[in-house]
Amino acid sequence: MKAARLYGPRDLRIEEVPVPEVAGDQVLVQMHSVGICGTDLLVYRGDLPVRPGTILGHECAGVVAATGPDVQRHRVGDRVFVEAGWGCGSCVYCRRGLILHCTHKASLGRTVDGAFAEYVAVPERVVHPIAENVPFDDAQSASTIGSAIRALGHIRPTVGDSAAVVGSGHAGLILMQLLRLSGLQWVAMVGTREKRLELARELGADLVVDARSDNPVEKVLEATEGLGVDLVGEAAATDSSLDLSMQIAAFGGTVLAFGIYEQAVKGFRAPDLYRKEIRLVGSKGGFGAYEATSQLLGRGILRIRPLISHYFPLDELAEGFRMMDEKAQDALRIVVRPCQ
């Protein structure tokens, strides 16, 4: 089969490799749609090191092509999406149900070969069904949807509250839609690219604010009668985006750290945290939220395909990474279709 292996920073090669053999509780999934996410980009750049020759990719959907002898729940032909990682099942964190913190966690496309390939072998417990009506291109966003559902579970938004999402990328636009579905009465989107802000408006944002404009904080405060928003979903993970989030949060409000932070944040507004009694909540991954993700996808109420800016065959994956790496203006969610 064809697969995309990384040999060093930005050294991605499409190679012929053997189709993985399934053993025990593993299923072989034929890849139909795989998204490039922010974590993939960090791996591609060498910021998250992997063993040379690792097949990248973890946000994916496809069809079960083979099953190991111990597989119970899945059959060949099932349409599925795959979780991005799994726990060892026996360490202290796994025993407490905190699989995210597993000391021997397997991460697809990082510690084990991933999804930018024609086939991937994974344990059946991380494979979830998708309904007949759900396009694979919607289901490839399942990791992000699951992460957003889990994050909202941490902060439990109240119907009627106001919210803002800072960061109008793929994750931010999904989080915004879920906040709407959670009954928030007013949701603003703060971002830096015009096209994405236009899209945010189409997807239901009440106010869009260009973070590069004169005074984005003032614009949000003005629209909320000076109070700020009850809930800020920070989905850009930069110094300035967290700074802005702290400033637009209301007194007693919540800031959800949903972006992928890899470095310490400079200029953190600790006085706001204290003075405004802001609740700052971190959330990573979607463990435990994938049943809900499967159902939500089946209902067809999330709009995923408008977020997809480019489709590439596997052979042209490097071009997709290059666009992400260089922050190509029109790139949003880039999807690769290895078997379509």
Chain residues in the site for Zn ion (CB under 5 A): 37, 39, 59, 87-88, 91, 94, 102
At closest approach, how far in Å is the CB of 162 from Zn ion? Answer: 28
Least CB distance to Zn ion at residue 325 (A): 16
46-85 CB burial, b ≥16 within 10 A, e <16: eeeebeeebbbbbbbbbbbbbbbeebeebeeebbbbbbbb
Q: For Zn ion, give the closer residue by CB, 127 or 229.
A: 127
172 in Cβ contact with 193 (< 8 Å): no
For the bound state, the minimum distance from the C-beta of residue 320 to Zn ion, rounded and expressed in Å, comes to 14
Nearer to Zn ion, 94 or 122 (CB): 94
Whichever of 39 and 254 has its CB closer to Zn ion, that residue is 39
Q: Which is nearer to Zn ion, 59 or 118 (CB)?
A: 59
Q: 321: phi > 0 → left, psi -120 to 50 → alpha, else beta; which?
A: alpha
One-letter amino acid identity for 143? Answer: S
Which residue, chain included where needed, has tokens 């609740």? Answer: 279
Q: Tell me the two tokens of residue 248.
A: 């637009």
CB contact set of 111 (below 8 Å; sequence gap of 6+) = 50, 105
Q: How far is the CB of 295 from Zn ion (least distance, A)?
A: 21
Instruction: Classify residue 108 as exposed, middle or buried by CB count within 10 Å of its CB (0-12, 13-18, 19+).
Output: buried
Instruction: List alpha helices for the chain, DSSP H.
Output: 38-45, 92-95, 136-139, 142-155, 170-181, 194-202, 216-223, 239-248, 270-275, 290-299, 317-325
Structure tokens at 212: 């590069």
Using a 10 angstrom Cβ sphere, with 0-12 exposed, 13-18 middle and 19 or more buried, the burial of residue 212 is exposed
* Closest CB 123 distance from Zn ion, rounded Å: 13
Residue 14 or 41: the one with the smaller Cβ distance to Zn ion is 41
Closest CB 144 distance from Zn ion, rounded Å = 7
Q: Which is nearer to Zn ion, 91 or 265 (CB)?
A: 91
Q: How far is CA 59 from the centre of its chain?
A: 8
* Min dist. Cβ of residue 26 to Zn ion (A): 18
Q: How far is the CB of 86 from Zn ion (least distance, A)?
A: 9
Nearer to Zn ion, 87 or 228 (CB): 87
Closer of 102 and 248 to Zn ion (Cβ): 102
Structure token pair of residue 245: 């989030």
- Tell me the closest approach of the beta carbon of residue 302 to Zn ion, in angstroms: 17
Quick one: 140 or 224, whose CB is closer to Zn ion? 140
Take residue 26 and report the two structure tokens written for it. Answer: 């593993």
Sign for the pseudo-dihedral over CA of 321, 324, 329, 332 = positive
